[in-house]
Amino acid sequence: MKYHVPDALVLRQERIGQNIYALTIESREIAHEAQPGQFVHLRCGQGDDPLLRRPLSINDVQRETGYVTFWYQVVGKGTQLLSQVQAGECLDVMGPLGHGFQTDLSGKKVGLIGGGMGIAPLIFLGSELVKKNEVQAFGGGRSKELLPRFPENMDFPSELITEDGSSGKQGLVTEILEEWLAQDAPERFDFLYACGPRPMLAEVARLARQAQIPLQVSLETVMACGVGACLGCTCEGAGRAEGKRFKVCQDGPVFWAEEVNWDE
């Protein structure tokens, strides 16, 4: 079930990196319904400019208090306006939207792979999965300032890697994953989840396919309506979904990696 909350109270707005912000709103409806991998569509400015809502993944929820947190990077007009919103103001939010990650696993070893802002939804996902599974997270980005961090109080370990070596090892997050997958059988993963830029996801998909490990990915496309009405966000299916065009906002944003046409 999705809700339109025209006056969600902003509780906190905090800068957590270079142009990266953590925003917490109060919405008991959204907090109660939200599943890891789902997103909200929110109006960033007052009035009609910008006209379109902007999608943000749900980073954390506290169901008892109704707190819902998002991490976002300022990249254009909408996110710039959003960064100026202060605690005590209200935002017009629709959500939770889309299909999230599969979370009904138990006794598995799972790997989470996040690239840049793709780390954001993996925090919520990891905190759900760790209740019944062993979780290891990997986060990668260009440099320390451009990378949101896994919070230190998480119940699962995480490893960071940056392209310029300013935090953690130097390299690509897919290289760390490849190293882990090359280890002996007990260290391998039963299930992988990834979110980040498309080229990173395509490489994770290749590695997972090679290692025969199921993988779910969260895709990002430019979105307009966010609810399946405009066809502005479609992507091509592959494998058992060959010939299909998915609406990322409604059929996803989470997909099985083998159902995505990575060559599109």
Which residue ranges make up the site for ligand FES (CB under 6 A)?
Answer: 223-226, 228-233, 247, 249
Of 75 and 229, which has the nearer Cβ to ligand FES? 229
* Residue selected from 42, 56, 146, 201 as contacting ligand FAD according to rule CB under 6 A: 56
Does 83 bind ligand FAD (CB under 6 A)? Our answer is no
| Residue 223 touching ligand FAD (CB under 6 A) | yes
Q: Which is nearer to ligand FES, 182 or 222 (CB)?
A: 222
Q: Compute the least distance from the CB of residue 223 to ligand FES, in Å.
A: 4
Torsional sign, CA 193, 199, 204, 206: positive
Does 120 interact with ligand FAD (rule: CB under 6 A)?
Answer: yes
Please select the residue that binds ligand FAD; options are 34, 60, 68, 72, rule is CB under 6 A.
72
What Cα–Cα distance (Å) separates residue 43 from each residue in 171, 198, 257? 36, 25, 30
Q: Which does 117 bind (CB under 5 to 8 A by kind): ligand FES, ligand FAD, none?
A: ligand FAD
Q: Using CB under 6 A as the criterion, what x/- string covers residues 226-255 for binding ligand FAD?
A: ---------------------------x--
Instruction: List strand residue ranges (DSSP E) for the chain, in order.
Output: 3-17, 20-26, 39-42, 54-57, 60-62, 67-73, 90-97, 109-115, 134-141, 158-162, 169-170, 191-195, 215-218, 234-236, 245-247, 254-256
199 sits near ligand FAD (criterion: CB under 6 A): no
Q: Which does 83 bind (CB under 5 to 8 A by kind): ligand FES, ligand FAD, none?
A: none
Q: How far is CA 217 from CA 43, 148, 190, 200, 201, in A?
A: 26, 19, 15, 11, 7
Instruction: Please enumerate in sequence order all residues whose Cβ is within 8 A of that of 186, keeping only pairs 6 or more positions apart, or say none.
Output: none
Closer CB to ligand FAD, 5 or 213, in the complex: 5
